[in-house]
């Protein structure tokens, strides 16, 4: 395996691990910790997901550069496109709505429960599927 694909494999699986650990382990567990209020949990969540999304964009750019630079089988490009699209929808459509709601809650206002979290989690599942497929396809290419 040459350097570009090897880097793509590494980035893909590190990205996947971060999404699984943060979105499906840390995020739900923090609200179960003793004395963590909704405001504290939201404040922590905002910081953690800002950091995660920033790293994800960096990883996406690295993978995109590698895919664009070399001959990449279409099935691998499609798998990455699924992950990229899920991330883009999260950042452009879902996160701003979640941020507006959490701004209200952090300001002490009553805000109705948001269905945006379900959309975000659904997109995380789509992203995980895309990353798993891309990683496996890279390893078997």
List, as one string, the DSSP characters of 14-27: HHHHHHHHIIIIIH
For the chain, which ranges sit under pLDDT 50?
none
Kindly report, residue by residue over 112-128, the tens digit of the pLDDT.
Answer: 778 889 999 999 999 99
pLDDT value of position 73: 95
Token digits of residue 69: 């630079």
Q: Which domain holds residue 63?
A: 3-140
Total structural domains within the chain: 1
Dist. CA 42–CA 40, nearest whole Å? 5
pLDDT value of position 8: 96
pLDDT value of position 137: 97
pLDDT value of position 56: 98
pLDDT value of position 120: 96
Rounded (5°) CA angle 118-12-1: 160
Task: Please give the model's pTM, rounded to 2 decimal places.
Answer: 0.93
pLDDT value of position 110: 81
């Amino acid at each position: 395996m040459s350097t570009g694909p090897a880097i793509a494999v590494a980035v893909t699986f590190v990205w996947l691990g971060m999404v699984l650990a943060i979105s499906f382990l840390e995020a739900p567990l923090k609200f179960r910790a003793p004395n963590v209020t909704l405001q504290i949990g939201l404040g922590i969540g905002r910081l953690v997901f800002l950091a995660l999304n920033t790293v994800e964009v960096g990883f996406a750019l690295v993978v995109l550069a590698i895919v664009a630079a070399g001959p990449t089988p279409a099935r691998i490009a499609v798998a990455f496109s699924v992950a990229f699209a899920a991330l883009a929808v999260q950042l452009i459509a879902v996160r701003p709505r979640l941020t507006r709601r959490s701004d209200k809650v952090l300001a002490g206002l009553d805000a109705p429960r948001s269905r945006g979290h379900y959309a975000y989690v659904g997109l995380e599942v789509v992203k995980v599927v895309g990353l798993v497929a891309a990683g496996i396809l890279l390893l078997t290419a």
